[in-house]
Amino acid sequence: MQSDIFDNIIDFGSEASRLQAKNKTERRLVDMRAQILGDEDNVLSLTYSGFCLVALPHRALPVGDKWERHGHRISLVVQPGVMRVGRQTIDLGVPYGSRARMILLYLQTRALQTGERIVELGRSMNDWLSRMGLSIGGKTYAAIRDQSNRISACRLSFYWDDEQGAKGFYQDSIVRRGVQFQNLSSDPNQPPLFREEVELSESFFDALKAHPVPLQETAVRELSNRSMSLDLYFWLAYRLHTLRSAIFVPFNALFEQFGAGFHAEKKFRQSFKEALKFALAVYPDAKVSIEAAGVRLYPSRPPVEFKGSRSRHLIG
């Protein structure tokens, strides 16, 4: 789909491909691909496979509204929770947007790295988010604190059908216990006031250990402000390397899976195609073609190899 603008990167460098680019978007895509090809460390981020098939909303829902999405033999229901702030108990909405996705990636990756449900926050989370291009200050700080609290308070329900037609589900929170996210200092020289940590729920941690999906940290960083592109990258990272032959996914199925917030499928198609360009830019081995009625997926190598949760390539 976009291979022409990437053709010269390996042989002649990114500048040659940038000269071929027709506009600012294509130049950005070339820069992203160059970052991926130049990544020699292959540091991993990890996510639960369920989040590769059903995702959180891109925008805020009205407070109190639940969230429900359906993917390939799996559904997700997220119920918002409440939190005590000072002397008041406030209703928190469902987590949403790219910030929520990035925080979840940190929690999941760190838990698999250590093999423990307890995940340290404070400086460690601050450093990782900074590496992802999210400086912890001002509006970004407020957004991260808000999304972290939403994640801590919400309740997840995953429902799935297996290949034999059996149905299963689990219902639990992501975070079992913790402290409120208040000490992500914008000053890199100022340590947190105390050691912050959260404990992931046992059922969520067990599901994560059983079904982790490896992602390239550099790719995550390049997509950190694009929630739909993140979702598509997660989806392709899980789906493509499990295929035995090519499959066709029609736009109406893609609309059901990824089209939250779009009232018309036609409008969704435009946004989907744009978001897919960015997801494919950071996944060079992905074999995907867009057709008139949908997309065709072909068996592809995973974006990064993963040999277990103790891999030295996990985040440091």
The C-alpha atoms of residue 29 and residue 14 are separated, in whole angstroms, by 10
Residue 65 has pLDDT above 70, yes or no: yes
Q: Average pLDDT of 5-22?
A: 71
Residue 76 has pLDDT above 60, yes or no: yes
DSSP character string of 70-102: EETTEEEEEE--EEEETTEEEE-----HHHHHH
What percent of the chain has pLDDT above 70? 82
Quote the pLDDT of residue 209: 94
pTM reported for the whole predicted model: 0.86
Q: What is the pLDDT of residues 181-205, one digit of tens each?
A: 554 444 544 444 334 778 898 889 9
The C-alpha atoms of residue 143 and residue 125 are separated, in whole angstroms, by 14
Q: Where are the domains of the chain?
A: 1-38, 39-297
Check if the beta carbon of residue 227 is closer than 8 Å to that of residue 260.
no
